[in-house]
Chains A and B, each alone.
Chain A
Amino acid sequence: SYEMTQPLSVSVALGQTARITCGGNNIGSKDVHWYQQKPGQAPVLVIYRNNNRPSGIPERFSGSNSGNTATLTISRAQAGDEADYYCQVWDSSTQVFGGGTKLTVL
Chain B
Amino acid sequence: EVQLVESGGGLVQPGGSLRLSCAASGFAFRDYDMHWVRRPTGKGLEWVSSIGPAGDTYYPGSVKGRFTISRENAKNSFYLQMNSLRAGDTAVYYCAREGKGDYNDAFDIWGQGTMVTISS
Instruction: Please give the distance in Å from B39's CB to the nearest CB on chain A.
Output: 8
Most A CB contacts (10 A, CB to CB) among B37, B44, B94, B106 go to B106
User: Would B44 and A97 count as touching, CB distance under 8 A?
Assistant: yes
Measured CA separation A11–B106 after assembly (Å): 26
Instruction: Please give the distance in Å from B21's CB to the nearest CB on chain A.
Output: 16
User: Would B46 and A48 count as touching, CB distance under 8 A?
Assistant: no
Check: B112 CB closer than 8 A to any chain A CB: yes
Check: A100 CB closer than 8 A to any chain B CB: yes
Choose one: B35, B94, B107; the contact of A33 (CB below 8 Å).
B107
Instruction: Please give the distance in Å from B38's CB to the nearest CB on chain A.
Output: 10
Check: B32 CB closer than 8 A to any chain A CB: no
User: Hey, what's the 0/1 contact readout for A80-106 against B, CB within 8 Å counting as 1?
Assistant: 000010101110011111111000000
The interface size of chain A toward B, counting residues with CB under 8 Å, comes to 26
Choose one: A37, A52, A88, A94; the contact of B102 (CB below 8 Å).
A52
Interface of B is mostly: strand
Choose one: A48, A96, A100; the contact of B106 (CB below 8 Å).
A48
User: Would A86 and B107 count as touching, CB distance under 8 A?
Assistant: no
User: Would A48 and B102 count as touching, CB distance under 8 A?
Assistant: yes
User: Would A42 and B99 count as touching, CB distance under 8 A?
Assistant: no
Instruction: Please give the distance in Å from B110's CB to the nearest CB on chain A.
Output: 4
Residues of A within 8 A of B (CB): 1, 31, 33, 35, 37, 42-45, 48-49, 52, 54, 84, 86, 88-90, 93-100
Residues of B within 8 A of A (CB): 35, 37, 39, 44-47, 50, 58, 60-61, 94, 99, 102-108, 110-113
The 9 closest A-B pairs by CB, nearest first: A100-B44, A95-B47, A42-B110, A90-B105, A33-B106, A48-B106, A97-B45, A99-B44, A93-B58
